[in-house]
Amino acid sequence: MSAARPRSAQSSRFLGRSFNRAQGWIAAQPPGRLTLALFAAVSLVGFAARFYGIDNMPFWLDEVTTVDRSSLPFWNMVGNSLAAHHLPSFFALEAMFGRYGMTEFMLRLPAALFGAASCGVLFLIGRSLGGWRAGLVAGLLLALSPLQVQYGQEARSYTFVVLMMAIGFLGLVELARDPHGASLPFGTPGARLGPWVTYTLGTLGALNVLSTAFFWLISANLAAIAIMTAPGIDRRRFLKRWLLAQAVVLLLSLPWFWAMDVYTHGEMTNATNWVPGITMHSFLSVLGSLYMMRVSRLINFHLFPAMIPGFGALVIVLAILGLSRLRSWRWQGPSSEQGKARSHTLVLALAIAAIVPPLAILLISIVKPLWMPRYLIWSSVPFLVFVGLGIEQLPRRWRSGAAFATVLLAAVNLVPYYQAETKPRWDLAAADLSREMRPGDIVLASDALPVYMMNFFLSRHGEVIPASNWTIDVFRAAKHLENGGRVWVLFGRVGQADRTPIPDFSRIIRPLGKPVAVMRAGQLITMRLYAHPPKPPAETTATADECDAPAASGKHKSAPADCDALALQ
């Protein structure tokens, strides 16, 4: 123990010297160079977190849709996107990357790049509001957020829209910080054109990527009303410029939504009919992954055990401190008396931008389910701004150490994500089934999607399960058993809202009797082999170990009759 103390003291002194050197280097840099260097550093960390293990998990159902759509000729791709309630911009980009291979690595790379850039933009927002340290904490927490990393490793458009909304948010923050300069005639000293351009381009880009950006547009307009209450601004000029920005955004966005309405035959609002109803479990799961840095499996709202218990609570506390930091922020407009006029404009505008989208989605979900991480992922951006500002509320001598510790804990907290099974392993199931099937075997599934997923992975090796070898008809499967054939039954999650719930499918196949073998592919997929005509089941009681034995060995073994029930738990 006596040797441990000197080593601990040496480590503390080393960290202290490192902090001092880093702060000394930062203080010596010109502002422009410092901003660029830290923007690049934060973006690089974000990219590294998303690049590592980017192809560890196979494509899941939505990503296979991206593969199929991006493989189409351009105008077919546009029509297919609109008919499926999607805007074509992201899929056009994916088609460009797909020229180098329709693999998990290539098609997920754009999402990783967009996610990394979002981290850099968040650094700029935090720096604008609270200094470089607040910006670093906010940007690095976004870089290390398990939810953000997971979407950054998915061939879907969600990180693209987050980046666009973050750019729009940066413009809105600058308008709220200096509404006086934003309302001055352009060309006069102190007039600010940049925030208007940034807000307009970011919002326009978001609406041309994903329709959920309308929630951002609504919150931004409400925030603009709050900004116009600031003292000493030309409200009429500010309003005219704001309306012009909205006109540009809508003029260049609404034609796509009109086309979508045409291609969906007037059923554009049915795009989210698949979303499962909100439950207390899904409600808390989404909050945990969004705001408490929890690792989750998005396909079934499963939260994995926290690597660092209490870290999520720490993040929430820092966010609350950050709000109090904003409340004490002083508006420094040229027409105000320095240090005297306290403006609530900024905190009100940012609170609206942060709270309105998730609150609106929650209220809508009471009538029409919409409470999904993909539609709320944007909310992490303003929330983490508050977390970064919370560091600045601590005593000055603690700030750098607290910032370092928070980011370090976030990095450790992310580690289990890379070992977690976040997507169903239909690739393993396809390989196992292909190896074990015999000529004449048929496959029974709850619907066509499990076979569709298996055939996607099998087709990479020139194989498929032909239409004659699979069915969704349990009577055909029972007849096949009576004729001496074998039947493989597939259980497993395919999407976030399966067409036939697994318990219901289990009751449907009960007439088949008991399986002779049970195999599992990962944690979400079970394959059962039936090889005898149905007989009255014997009264047996199976243990979990007995049912897991075939899965562990990968070989067929006799399975008790009630393994079906155990495997569904």
Q: What is the pLDDT of residues 259-271, one digit of tens each?
A: 999 999 888 878 7
Mean pLDDT, residues 519-548: 72
Residue 154 lies in a domain: yes
pLDDT greater than 90 at residue 383: yes
Residue 176 lies in a domain: yes
Residues 119 and 233 in one domain: yes
pLDDT recorded at residue 231: 80
Residue 494 lies in a domain: yes
Asked whether 320 and 296 are in contact (CB, 8 A), the reply is: no
Asked whether 384 and 138 are in contact (CB, 8 A), the reply is: yes
Last residue of one domain, picked from the residues 419, 452, 475: 419
Asked whether 141 and 384 are in contact (CB, 8 A), the reply is: yes
Last residue of one domain, picked from the residues 383, 398, 419: 419
Residues 390 and 504 in one domain: no
Residues 448 and 402 in one domain: no
Q: Which domain holds residue 226?
A: 30-265+276-300+311-419
Helix or strand or coil: residue 73? coil
**Helices 311-327 and 345-367 sit at what angle, rounded to 10 degrees?**
130
Number of domains making up the chain: 2
Mean pLDDT, residues 230-255: 94
pLDDT recorded at residue 533: 78
Taking Cα atoms as reference points, which of 157, 155, 151 lies closest to residue 90?
157
Tokens representing 301 are: 């709202």
Average pLDDT, the chain: 86
Residues 366 and 238 in one domain: yes
Residue 223 lies in a domain: yes
Residues 196 and 213 in one domain: yes
Residues 60 and 172 in one domain: yes
Highest mean pLDDT among 25-29, 231-235, 243-247, 333-337: 243-247
Residue 6 lies in a domain: no
Residues 505 and 396 in one domain: no
Residues 557 and 472 in one domain: yes
pLDDT greater than 80 at residue 405: yes
Question: What's the maximum distance between 2 C-alpha atoms anywhere in the chain?
Answer: 92
Residues 439 and 537 in one domain: yes
Residues 435 and 343 in one domain: no
**Helices 345-367 and 158-177 sit at what angle, rounded to 10 degrees?**
140
- Three-class secondary structure assignment of 114-169: HHHHHHHHHHHHHHHHHCHHHHHHHHHHHHHCHHHHHHCCCCCCHHHHHHHHHHHH
Taking Cα atoms as reference points, which of 127, 40, 354, 134 lies closest to residue 226?
354
Taking Cα atoms as reference points, which of 312, 284, 295, 309 lies closest to residue 414?
295
Residue 363 lies in a domain: yes
Asked whether 135 and 402 are in contact (CB, 8 A), the reply is: no
Q: Count of CB atoms within 10 A of residue 67's CB?
A: 17
